[in-house]
Amino acid sequence: MGYFKNFILGILTGIVVISIYYLYTLKIDIENLSDELNHLKENRTVFHSPDNKNIGLMITEAVKKVTPSVVGINVMKFKDENIKKKIKDPLGLLTIPPTYKVERKIREVKSNGSGFIISKDGYLITNEHVIHNASEILVTTTEGNKYEATIIGADEKSDIAVLKIGVDNHTFTKFGKSNKLNIGEWVLALGNPYGLFEFNNKPLVTLGIISGLGINFGNSKFNNRFYTDMIQTDASINPGNSGGPLINIFGEVIGLNTMIYSESGGGSVGIGFVTPISKVLRIKDQLIENGYVNRAIDYGFELIDIDKDISKKIGKTSSKGVLVTSVHDHGSAKEAGFVEGDIIVALENYNIENKDDIHTIVKDSKDFIVGDSLRFIVNRDDKIYKINMELLPINRLN
């Protein structure tokens, strides 16, 4: 009997010792992970290796951090359709061969999308196309609460919208720096694909990498949208994910999930495109302040092409570049330091030969709004100067 007691006591002692050792090493692992996360964040080191023992924990922590601020969005919207109907003769019979007429019909349809809360008092961001022509917007949070949302501002050109729900102290997202990203960096897409958020009040999460940066689609020929400087990812983005956040492994939002490439017009094939958070925040600020995005820019100078006669008159041998003939008081050019006689030779890293070049760059290279800057290189008295011109609004002094 004494032998049996000693045997049991030995086993229990062993279990206690092993448990203490396990808890001690687990504490060390957690402390090491915390230190590593802080070190990576401070130095903005990109975490590439999926074999690292901590990558799973880092991803889990990032998801936990962001999940409470992600919302599902259900929308009732009006859809304008053309319906083809067969025409009957006066006796109510169908004609042979059948003839048709097209009738316009507006009907209410249901759709869904995603969003993320950006302030404790309930401002949230989504895509404009998620709520376009909406008659009703219902937002569901991860607590299971449902709110009718108010549209604070919606900008079709950038495809960004700001909504607001009635909360006072809600968890909200933190933002990363989309200009510090690297191809191959781990990212996660959160959202409401196919409306699945409704089943457990939690966003679905997909993992991938950044596949490309600076993807430019320019002005769409099919609508009024302008997609430039997009992030490409292979994290699965499906219908309903639009408006949700793309996050880094630190749990910071780096972009707005916006659209996918799909040959069949259906789900993800691993090619998704995301609006950088830097652009989202620029648009968001104006939508909250004004309810719209101000693109009425006062460039503030007059320009002419340099032909042979102008070139001879100003004493130049080359006709390349554009001549500044006058600078308006209080305009963007005056504030930036332009003077009459400056010759613009480059804009946004593109060589300039005539005014059409400037028009093309401003119109097609980026969706410029009030508050943005244009980078010029000018020739002034045969010396080269760089000028950053902040774009000011028209009639800002009125």
What angle separates helix 55-66 from helix 2-43, to the nearest 10 degrees?
70
Task: List the structure tokens of 347.
Answer: 């804009």
Beta bridge partners of 235: none
Catalytic residue among 129, 170, 268, 332: 129
Q: Which amino acid is at 170?
A: H
Preceding omega of 97 cis (within 30 degrees of 0): yes
CB contact at 8 A, 227 and 273: yes
CB contact at 8 A, 133 and 107: no
Q: What element of type H or E holds 312?
A: helix 308-313
CB contact at 8 A, 354 and 305: yes
Measured CA angle at 185 (ends 181, 188), to 5 deg = 100
CB contact at 8 A, 293 and 286: yes
Catalytic residue among 242, 268, 332, 367: 242
Residue 242 is among the residues annotated as catalytic for this protein: yes
Pairwise CA distance, residues 109 & 119, whole Å: 30
DSSP 268: -
Beta bridge partners of 71: 115
Task: List the structure tokens of 255.
Answer: 């972009």
Q: Considering only CA atoms, which of 285, 65, 42, 62 is closest in space to residue 180?
A: 42
Residues in CB range of 11: below 8 A, 6 or more apart: none
Residue 114 is among the residues annotated as catalytic for this protein: no
- Considering just the CA atoms, what is the radius of gyration of the chain in Å? 29
SS3 content of the chain, % helix, strand, coil (to 5): 25, 35, 35
CB contact at 8 A, 333 and 299: yes
Q: Residue 199: how many CA atoms within 13 Å on its side-chain side?
A: 7
Task: List the structure tokens of 337.
Answer: 């330091």
Catalytic residue among 69, 114, 155, 159: 159
Pairwise CA distance, residues 309 & 291, whole Å: 48
Pairwise CA distance, residues 246 & 236, whole Å: 11
Residue 178 is among the residues annotated as catalytic for this protein: no
Residues that are catalytic? 129, 159, 242
